[in-house]
Structure 1
Amino acid sequence: MDLSELIRDLPDGAVLTDPDLTERYRQDWARDPAAVEPLAVVRATSTADVQTVLRWATTHRVPVVPRGAGSGLSGGATAVAGGIVLTTERMRAITVDPVTRTAVAQPGLLNAEVKRAVAAHGLWYPPDPSSFEICSIGGNAATNAGGLCCVKYGVTSDYVLGMEVVLADGSAVRLGGPRLKDSAGLSLTKLFVGSEGTLGVITELTLRLIPAQPAQSTVVASFATLDAASAAILAITRELRPAMLEFMDRVAINAVEDALNMGLDRNAEALLIARSDAPGSYAGREAELMLQACTEAGAVEAFHTDDAAEGEAFTAARRFAIPAVERLGDLLLEDVGVPLPKLPDLVTGIARIARHRNVTVSVIAHAGDGNTHPLIVYNPADAAQTERAQSAFGEIMELAIALGGTITGEHGVGRLKKPWLPDQLGPEVMALTERIKRALDPDGILNPGAIL
């Protein structure tokens, strides 16, 4: 494919073709084994650049895979044969309006950078994936990312008020805006959030902000059994909505302890980390209620702290769980979710699958909203173990669906989970999804192979 026209119409250095440079754009953190070397990588700096790429791609019927920071966990940014990887990592502008409590951000900014920019105005952008320091705000919107505090504050879609998005034919449209209430027309902004680059490329986001988070009280409890931890989770969520309610199993506890040496109980089967940020003295009351729920459920040890540094240390331990477990081997990462009453069935069911398939599966979870992250550990050099791990991967998603849950709570479907999507959605919804895709991308050039 002749790239001279594309190179001519874009800024100098925007188009990369040297394999040594394009290699790092070949796949995301999911490490999809089907990833290939792309035809080229384009590093866009503006909406106009993205329009140029998509007009050229439509004319020449070249597939385009949009990419943010490459921290995705479902293969949503896997390069395809003969295709362009379009990265927005150089689009990094942000403006904050403290009067309307909104920020207008380009997609290449990291989630942590958005948080810091708005914090300078005494404001807060709540969605906080564990990878908030390395994931982009555009990627968060593309997958409708969640995070630790989303049990109380909601996910990315709850904070996207508007966007600029470039469609497959290169036309740019503005959706929504800095308005907290807006019922004019179809809810198209919501359609693009979570679409994983299959309907358009997001080049700007208008984000809703809220006042800075109040002081927090943290509860930490360890349990001798998964059943006791599950009982505590359900007891807490029956009484209140915590600002955070996180779960780590024994494998994750020990992996984190190996890395951070925090003095975590290596014999515990589960660890819960919960937070209250209720105003005034009620934060202490919520902490007492959560502590009581853990104690009554049979916690081996439980305590709470109002010390911000101590509480943040336990939160950081939870955020580090995936990298810590990854030290044990390669990972197949899940993010299945179920209605809260089914969470005990999901956790115990995953344990049964791990035993049956003779693989290590560590479970960490945003327990307060039923979103779990089973981490399947395997050695890719061991063909038999790899096959067992892949079987467990599918069986965990089948279990979640059978329990009325979802194959993805926040990471997206990407390419790795799409075989199971029809089982969750059913033929009618899949057909509707395909109709929407054809209407917005009739030539099928946008992120082909993702979701559908």
Structure 2
Amino acid sequence: MSHPVPTEDPSVDEQETVHRRVVAGLRAALRPDQVLTDAAALAAYAHDDAEWAPFETPMAVVLAEDEGDVVAVVRLAAASGVHVVARGAGTGLSGGANAVARSIVLSLERMTRIVEIDAAERFAVAEAGVINDTLRLAVAEHGLWYPPDPASYRISTIGGNAATNAGGICCVKYGVTRDYVLGLRVVLADGEVVDLGRRTAKGVTGYDLTALLVGSEGTLGIITRVTVKLLPLAGREERAIVGAFGSLRAAGDAVAAISASGIVPAALEIIDRTCIEAVDAWQALGLPHGVDTMLPAKVDEVGALGERHAASVAGLMVDAGALAVERAADAEEVDRLFLARRLAYPALERLGPVLTEDICVPRGAVPEMLTRIQVVAREHDVVIANIAHAGDGNLHPLIIAPEGDDAAKARAKLAFDRIVDECRRLGGTVTGEHGVGLLKLPGARAELGERVVALHASIKQALDPAGTLNPGKAFPA
């Protein structure tokens, strides 16, 4: 792990002195219950859900309750020469919120106010700790809809979604977080607070710093508020179509055919046999056994057009070799058909530590990439489950290693790197929505190239010259 900090390592005594001074400063600036230093809390907040990424024990955990708390922590850290790692709900899968050496983990989970909902102008302002689904339900009361829906939408925060530019199931048609962020309030590395962006439907004043901060993983500033645009809730009629296939390749062929047809589904997902069996063993949903892959899709056009699109998608699945196709238009039945996709990741976690990929390839390359993943699994003797936002080429191969099996873990890491390489050979990118964090640094370097990495370093230097904010993440230093 590398980051722009002074090259001289302080002695143990110096480190202890700094540690004590920092903790004392935090306790002087905040209430005692906001500063956690016990071993259990430090361990709980030391890393996100990317268990395979490296992490350190933080000096302290701070539970910020307002913007003033964030400012106080950042200013203290900058003055003390230590680092701040911002954290939302800790649902990240790339190590972006993992603690680094000499760091304070700054949790924004208590900043949960929905500041404003403007139904006429169709925007909302939410503090960073607001849960994605909480915002979605709140704006629905005004007849509005916030589309980005990562699989963790019931537990992940808006601030974390913005920091990683989270995607989700419906992003194939409606886009990712960046497409909905109008503005941000950000605490910079020196503790100054700035407002970026706008509230109007259009605006091109200055560089698009809002878009720059979205997806920057807390390395350029700490997001405390997010202003998001909203869509009308009315005018959508969801229909679900789920195909069962005898092979992952056949499901991939169906994805390619649907993409080539001109129909833009509201969702198009893949769940393979390993996921199906894990979910059913856990939740007993009555999922079909004996099939290799399920392909859940949604269309949401209204009336006859929606019915035609649903029929066309079902027909394309049959043409690609589907063993069976199930359709539903009732809202509860649609949710039931997609529940297995929502539960796939937690179900797999029950089988052992999971190393999560997040590659994205051109839609037409989905069948070939799925085939290559199967080859990698065989050659490295590892179990790889596949879930995917297949409609936009974003694949999530999940490499499972038995608890305590170091040899399997080593093979899994080799398989992980090989999949990244195969993705790039097909014209893909190493992360579609989870962020670079720590796990994807080597792949990011290969994808970006040295000149573009240098551009990233220049931006980091301009906004955070001392390396206070989440050093060593998001791009290779």
Would you say same fold, with TM above 0.5?
A: yes
TM-score (norm 2): 0.93
Amino acid at match of 2:70: V
Match of 2:375 among 352, 356, 360: 352
Match of 1:225 among 247, 262, 271: 247
Deviation at 1:81, TM superposition (A): 2.0
1:73-132: CA deviation from partner (whole Å, max 9, x where unpaired): 000111122210011011111121111111000010111111111111111100001111
CA distance in 2, matches of 1:348, 1:234: 14
Amino acid at match of 2:123: T
Please give the secondary structure, in 1, of the residue aligned with 2:100: coil
Amino acid at match of 2:104: I
Whether 1:180 and 2:226 are equivalent positions in the alignment is: no
Deviation at 1:60, TM superposition (A): 1.0
Whether 1:105 and 2:146 are equivalent positions in the alignment is: no
Whether 1:84 and 2:143 are equivalent positions in the alignment is: no
Aligned partner of 2:385 in structure 1 is 362
Aligned partner of 1:208 in structure 2 is 229
Aligned partner of 1:37 in structure 2 is 57
1:142-177: CA deviation from partner (whole Å, max 9, x where unpaired): 000000000000000000000100110111110112
Deviation at 1:380, TM superposition (A): 4.1
Contact 1:360 1:376 in 2 (8 A): yes
Match of 1:424 among 447, 455, 458: 447
Amino acid at match of 1:431: A
Amino acid at match of 1:101: R
Aligned partner of 1:255 in structure 2 is 278
CA distance in 1, matches of 2:187, 2:334: 42
Aligned partner of 1:238 in structure 2 is 260
Amino acid at match of 2:142: H
Contact 2:113 2:130 in 1 (8 A): yes
Contact 1:44 1:50 in 2 (8 A): yes
Aligned length: 452
Contact 1:32 1:78 in 2 (8 A): no
1:218-257: CA deviation from partner (whole Å, max 9, x where unpaired): 1011111222211211111122100110111111111122
Deviation at 1:14, TM superposition (A): 2.0
CA distance in 1, matches of 2:431, 2:371: 19
CA distance in 2, matches of 1:254, 1:20: 34
Please give the secondary structure, in 2, of the residue aligned with 1:281: helix
1:298-343: CA deviation from partner (whole Å, max 9, x where unpaired): 1100121112111101211111011112222110011111011111
Query: Alpha carbons of 1:334 and 1:24: their partners in 2 closer, same or farther (altered >3 Å)?
Result: same
Deviation at 1:50, TM superposition (A): 1.0
Matches within 5 A, 1:47-446: 47-94=67-114, 95-212=116-233, 214-239=236-261, 240-446=263-469
Instruction: Quote the RMSD (CA, aligned, Å).
Output: 1.2
Deviation at 1:7, TM superposition (A): 2.0
Deviation at 1:33, TM superposition (A): 5.2
Deviation at 1:371, TM superposition (A): 0.2
Q: Could you tell me the percent identity over the aligned residues?
A: 48
Contact 2:54 2:95 in 1 (8 A): no
CA distance in 2, matches of 1:7, 1:259: 44
Please give the secondary structure, in 1, of the residue aligned with 2:470: coil
1:12-36: CA deviation from partner (whole Å, max 9, x where unpaired): 4222212233321111111245222
Deviation at 1:209, TM superposition (A): 0.5
Contact 2:52 2:355 in 1 (8 A): no
Aligned partner of 2:4 in structure 1 is none
CA distance in 2, matches of 1:180, 1:429: 31
Deviation at 1:55, TM superposition (A): 1.1
CA distance in 1, matches of 2:466, 2:355: 32
Amino acid at match of 1:170: G
CA distance in 1, matches of 2:165, 2:50: 17
Deviation at 1:439, TM superposition (A): 0.7
CA distance in 2, matches of 1:296, 1:338: 23
Please give the secondary structure, in 1, of the residue aligned with 2:102: coil
CA distance in 1, matches of 2:38, 2:350: 31
1:397-439: CA deviation from partner (whole Å, max 9, x where unpaired): 1111111111110011101111211111111111101111111
Matches within 5 A, 1:1-40: 1=18, 2=21, 3-32=23-52, 34-40=54-60
Deviation at 1:56, TM superposition (A): 1.1
CA distance in 2, matches of 1:103, 1:89: 19
CA distance in 2, matches of 1:402, 1:366: 20
Between 30-39 and 319-328, report the one with greater CA deviation.
30-39
Please give the secondary structure, in 2, of the residue aligned with 1:205: strand
Alignment gaps of 5+ in structure 2: 1-17
